[in-house]
Every structure is written in C-alpha cells, then in structure tokens.
C-alpha cells in the first residue's frame, strides 16, 4: 500500500512519523504548548472552542485559540452542531489567525457538549456531522481541514472507518482517531486494532491517539496500525519530555536518561513563568494560585509528591514556588 499523503499538510505522509500534542481543554494553552515544543512536540492543536462562542466575539474565546508563530504548524479546533455557525466560525478563525489547518471536534464525550449534539454526540447523528463538514469545507477552501474523532458512540456502534471514508470524500485532509468510544470516556484502553481499521479505510493520513506513554509502545503502535502520525495527550501533562523519548525510539536512537527531579522542577517553573507572563491582570497580577491545577501533573514522580502538591496549593507567588523547588531539591538524595 502506498503511504497516505496530504499535499497541504506537508509534515504528514513523507515517511517520517510526526508527533502531535493532543488538544486538552484547560491545559494545552500557549504556555504549555511552548513547553512541549521545547521537548520535541512537532504539531499542535488548540483546545476546542465552541463555534457560537467565537461568533459572539468574546475576547476569552479568542484567547483559547491563540498561538504564536513559533508554535506552527498549528491547528485551531472548533466544535458545534450547527452547520452555518461552524462554517462562519471556521471562516473567522482562518481570516484572523491563518492557522496551518482547521480541526473539527467529533470526539468530546462531556455531557454538556453531547447534549447539544456536538463533539462525540455527532457520531450517533452522522447525517448532521456530514452536513457540518460540507459547510465548513465550502467556507474555507484555502485552509487544510482535519477532524478528530472517537471510534463511535459505544462498542455496538463503531462508525470510525465508515465516517472517515466519508470525511475523506468530503475533502477532509487528515483524521486523528482516539481509540475509545464515547461510552468509554477515558476508561479501559484505547483500541489500536480499530484505529488500524480506519487506516485501511482511507488514503489520507490517520493520526493515532490513545494511551501512548513510552517509546517502545509508540514504535509498536506505528508498526501494527500503519498510522502516519502519533498524538500524545495525558502523558505529556506529566512528562512533556515524552516527545523526545518517542522520537528517539522511532529513530532507533538510545532512550534519553529518565527525567530527574531537577528536570521536573525546571519544567514546572518554566510553565509557571510562561503562564504568568501571558496571564492578564484580571487573573490576579502576581498571584499564581489559580494555576495550580495546570502545574500539578508535573509533580508526578517527584519524591514526596503528595506533600509537594499540598505545598503547591499554598504558593501565592513565583518566589514561593521557587522556594518550594529549592526545599524539595535540597532533600532529594543526589542520584
């Protein structure tokens, strides 16, 4: 079989498997994406934003899809259930931000999203899903269009291969597949055999997603499923350096040394500094307490992680956080 290609997405389908950072609401903002980029993430997508929210033109919604030039290639992800609003929002995004691609969300399992028939809700209502794709495709002919989907609504309705083939016919240029159903949420494990079925159903590149946590597994997933790219989500929240680990494994290079407490703290402080630098005064000036949920995953694997998490909640400023890092490293035995 010849490799899948997407002429307008030149990082895909040229024999090298690019590494995507998965979109994750409330986490993968500009600051976190720069941290991941510095650790080897190659392609990134903004968290999802509702088409109607963009149409209301609120600054907050545009902040959610913000990115920097250094972060390209960048996709902007939108969701919704009304073809005309999705098309208008897509056009606005492409005119204002000129992303490298526009991504449609057909995977979100959250109740408040599916009750509007959006996200993975569209997988049980495929005629509407196709109408949305048709409308968006027509609205932004000059911008590459991609989609991110789950396998189906539940195990009895796995629609990903047939939906993917239809999306390809409608002009979608690559598809990311999270190997779970809506019913699974984030439980159980991602089914990569089903992702492989999607690969076989289309000629456009498929980006495989679900439970990638180490280099050797990533290599096996590519070999067994034939995906053109890999997308890493939750593992990157705790270990942004996973991109380097996976790249080394894919290239047959030695695995990088395991992350030290110093690296964890340096990365955590870097994220806090970049997050604060981008936050506006509304969020409390120098106060960093609001960002503890963003920082917390990076404490995973630190000695006395529980105590550090408690300490993190109490940090009011960057200086408090630096002090917590110094104290924690001082009591970490040298390796």
Ligand X SMILES: Cc1cc2nc3c(=O)[nH]c(=O)nc-3n(C[C@H](O)[C@H](O)[C@H](O)COP(=O)(O)O)c2cc1C
Residues that bind ligand X (CB under 6 A): 22-25, 27, 47-48, 77, 105, 107-108, 148, 178, 209-212, 232-235
Active site residue 108: yes
The rounded distance, in Å, linking the Cα atoms of 99 and 56 is 20
User: Measured from the CB of residue 320, what is the shortest distance to ligand X in angstroms?
Assistant: 26
Nearer residue to ligand X within complex by CB, 231 or 276: 231
The active-site residue out of 108, 125, 305, 315 is: 108
- For residue 196, give the H/E element and its range: helix 192-201
Q: Are strands 74-79 and 229-232 parallel, antiparallel or unpaired?
A: unpaired
Nearer residue to ligand X within complex by CB, 137 or 221: 221
User: Measured from the CB of residue 102, what is the shortest distance to ligand X in angstroms?
Assistant: 13
Angle subtended at Cα 180 by Cα 209 and Cα 94, rounded to the nearest 5 degrees: 55
Where b means 16+ CB within 10 Å and e means fewer, 14-29 reads eeebbbbbbbbeebbb
Could you tell me the sign of the dihedral formed by the alpha carbons of 50, 51, 56, 57, in that order?
A: positive
The residue whose Cβ lies closest to ligand X is 233
Nearer residue to ligand X within complex by CB, 137 or 148: 148
Which of 286, 272, 278, 276 is closest to 63 using CA atoms?
278
Which runs of consecutive H residues, i.e. helices, occur in 107-188?
Answer: 111-114, 126-139, 160-169
| Backbone Cα Rg of the chain | 20
Nearer residue to ligand X within complex by CB, 126 or 260: 126
User: Measured from the CB of residue 49, what is the shortest distance to ligand X in angstroms?
Assistant: 8
The catalytic residues are 108
């Amino acid at each position: 079989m010849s490799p899948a290609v997407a002429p307008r997405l030149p990082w895909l389908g040229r024999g090298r498997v690019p590494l995507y950072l998965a979109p994750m609401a409330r986490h993968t903002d500009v600051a976190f994406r720069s941290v991941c980029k510095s650790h080897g993430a190659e392609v990134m997508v903004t968290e999802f934003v509702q088409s109607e929210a963009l149409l209301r033109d609120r600054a907050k919604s545009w902040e959610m899809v913000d990115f920097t030039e250094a972060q390209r290639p960048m996709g902007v992800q939108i969701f919704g259930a009304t073809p005309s609003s999705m098309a208008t929002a897509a056009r606005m995004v492409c005119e204002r931000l000129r992303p490298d691609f526009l991504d449609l969300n057909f995977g979100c399992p959250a109740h408040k999203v599916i009750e509007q028939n959006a996200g993975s809700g569209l997988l049980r209502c495929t005629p509407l899903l196709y109408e949305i794709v048709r409308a968006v495709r027509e609205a932004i002919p000059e911008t590459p269009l991609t989609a991110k989907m789950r396998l189906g609504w539940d195990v009895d309705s796995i629609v990903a291969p047939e939906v993917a083939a239809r999306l390809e016919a409608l002009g979608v240029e690559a598809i990311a597949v999270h190997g779970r159903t809506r019913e699974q949420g984030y439980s159980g494990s991602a089914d990569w055999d089903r992702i492989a079925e999607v690969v076989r159903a289309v000629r456009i590149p498929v980006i495989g997603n679900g439970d990638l946590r180490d280099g050797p597994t990533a290599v096996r997933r590519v070999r067994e499923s034939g995906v053109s790219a890999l997308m890493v989500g939750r593992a990157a929240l705790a270990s942004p350096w996973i991109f380097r680990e996976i790249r080394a494994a894919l290239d047959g290079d030695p695995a990088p040394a395991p992350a030290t407490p110093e690296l964890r703290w340096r990365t955590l402080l870097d994220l806090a500094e970049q997050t604060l630098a981008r936050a506006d005064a509304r969020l409390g000036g120098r106060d960093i307490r609001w960002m503890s949920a963003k920082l917390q995953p990076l404490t995973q694997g630190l000695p006395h992680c529980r105590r550090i998490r408690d300490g993190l909640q109490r940090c009011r400023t960057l200086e408090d956080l630096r002090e917590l890092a110094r104290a924690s490293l001082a009591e970490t035995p040298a390796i």
